[in-house]
Chains A and B, each alone.
Chain A
Amino acid sequence: MKHFRFMTIGAIVLTFAGAASAHESAGIAGGFISGFLHPILGWDHVVAMVAVGLWGAFLGSPAIWILPVVFPLVMAFGGALGVMGVPIPAVETGIAASAVVLGAMVAIAARPPIWVAALIVGVFAIFHGHAHGTELPNAASPLAYSIGFVISTGLLHLSGIAFGLLVRWPAGKIAVRAAGGAIALAGIGFLTGAV
């Protein structure tokens, strides 16, 4: 009788089995979240994106908005190359180098003409886009994934711009240049495999 009761309880409990998900995320929301998290979960992406915002803010108008606008567009081009399987050599090295170069530009307070700054940012955007783009065909919803990672990239730029606006004050200028130096050092760490 006791065994019968336990079996009854067990049978009742079994009828409440929840759905088993083969993947952590699915559908539009899953695609968006995985795309949104892709740049944020990679330190090499994060520091380079923040450096773009910092440099834009450091250079002032119109660089403060031209650089963050150029980046996603060229990144889309790099992403398209990644989607189509067009190989780009040393993508990870390029991403690490972007942190070194962009961080160094902020640290040394480089003020090149806007088209040179856009060109430098654009070249590195291809590497970042390629890395994101290769993940795109496997995403639960490719469009939601791409919207997620573009927004996430833009928000990282914005955080760089927000910090970079400190250049209005002398102490802030030092802080921004120090942040650029730290980003460049982190990039060296990525390049050498130390980080």
Chain B
Amino acid sequence: MINSSRALVFWALLAIPQLGLAHSPIEGIDKFYSGLLHPAFVPAHLLLLLALGLFIGQRGAKDNELAILVFSVAVTVGLIAAWFSIGGEIEVLILGVAASVGILILASFSAGRYWCALIAALAGLLLGMDSAQDTLSGKEKFVSLLGSGLGIYLLFLYPLALADTFNKKFWQTIGVRVFGSWIAASSLLVLALSYLSV
């Protein structure tokens, strides 16, 4: 009887399997990793990074090394500002820049290298400033911001490399312009929603 009860408990427990996660969820993971994933999990950041990468890649990475350098410096400055909690709710600004850059991609607007650098500086600064996670402080915040910096650079470099590599054939250049229109459309819609909730 005891054995049958044990068997019953065993089968009852087997009947309620829980979800097995191959990767850690974002809550409870290491602060550096959480920071690294931050730009990928905030849609506004992701849109701006995609837009900026495609924008500079569309104009050639070699011709716009200055913009890439300026972006790196601006992100660092923005992250320092985030460390000191400078800046408030700037997601609307990020979306505004993403929409504008999306339209520039779509128009295939031939911006000079200094214009590209200026746009990269603005984008980098905004992304860095908006990377602080409210619940963190002290060493945890510092480590998280380091992760965010790395995440931002990586997510900027991927679309840049793609747009720079795939700009030889006509359909490839069109593909980049179509992506630009999608980024602009998504950003504009949420800007309208933000405007409504102000």
| A61: min CB distance to chain B, Å | 8
- Name the interface residues of A6-63: CB closer than 8 Å to any CB of B: 8-9, 12-13, 16, 18, 28, 61
Main secondary structure of the interface of A (DSSP, over half): helix
Chain B neighbourhood of A75, CB < 8 A: 185
Please provide the chain B residues from 1 to 33 with a CB less than 8 Å away from any CB of chain A in the complex. 5, 8-9, 12-13, 16, 18
Which residues of chain B (27-65) have a CB below 8 Å from chain A? Answer: 41, 43-44, 47
Question: Which A residues touch B193, using CB under 8 A?
Answer: 83, 136-137, 142
The reply to whether the CB of A98 lies closer than 8 angstroms to some CB of chain B is: no
Complex CA distance for A16 and B16, rounded to whole angstroms:
7
| B185 proximity list for chain A (CB < 8 A) | 72-73, 75-76, 79, 146, 150
Shortest CB-to-CB span from A23 to chain B, Å, is: 18
Cβ-Cβ contact count across A and B, 8 Å cutoff = 94
Give A66 to B42 CA distance when docked, in angstroms.
30
Contact A84–B186 (Cβ < 8 Å): no
Q: How far is the CA of A175 from the CA of B24 in the complex (A)?
A: 50
Whole-angstrom CA separation of A13 from B9 in the bound complex: 9
Are the CB atoms of A143 and B9 closer together than 8 Å? Answer: no
- Among B170, B178, B191, the residue within 8 A (CB) of A69 is B178
B190: chain A residues within 8 A (beta carbon): 136, 142-143, 146
For B8, B95, B181, B184, which residue has the most chain A Cβ atoms within 10 angstroms?
Answer: B181
- Ordered by A's residue number, 15 sampled pairs between the chains whose C-beta atoms are within 8 Å are A12-B12, A12-B13, A16-B13, A65-B177, A73-B106, A73-B181, A73-B184, A80-B192, A83-B189, A83-B192, A133-B189, A143-B44, A143-B190, A150-B186, A150-B189
